[in-house]
Amino acid sequence: MEHIAALLFVVGCSSTMTDCRELEVPVSVFETAQACIAERPFALGDLLGKAPHIVGECLTVDPALEDDYDQIAWNVRPDGTLVASLEVSGMLVASNGERSEKDYVRQQ
């Protein structure tokens, strides 16, 4: 069985960074964080033209919890920084930054 070590999460935003939405990428799960980081620039490049600003982050996945996470909480700051986290029933599992009250949450 293949284990997931990282998830590539990509968001496209308007030119003012006020309207953002998730963007799908052909490959979003990776066996290593390094593989996700290596693929990230190519995935973002493939999405050029889908939104004025495109940001993406690799989120590390705990192999023991890979089947358990049920939410991705995310927010794009005005400076274009994507803050995203994986959560299991409201418990933070992996994050690349601080959460805010303006976070979007996607149920898996």
CA 42 to chain centre: 15
Structure tokens, 87: 């959560």
The residue type of 101 is E
Q: What is the pLDDT along the chain (108 residues), one digit of tens a residue?
A: 456 789 999 999 999 888 999 999 999 999 999 999 999 999 999 999 999 999 999 998 877 776 777 788 899 988 889 999 888 775 555 555 554 544 555 544
What is d(CA 74, CA 2) in angstroms, rounded to the nearest whole number? 26
Q: Parallel, antiparallel, or unpaired: how do β-strands 91-95 and 82-88 relate?
A: antiparallel
Structure-block tokens of residue 38: 């290596």
The DSSP element (H or E) to which 38 belongs, if any, is: helix 33-46
Q: Which residues contact 68 (CB under 8 A, 6 or more apart)?
A: 88
Return the pLDDT at 104.
54
Instruction: Compute the distance between CA of residue 61 and CA of residue 44 in angstroms, rounded to an integer.
Output: 20
pLDDT at residue 47, as a whole number: 95
- pLDDT of res. 25: 93
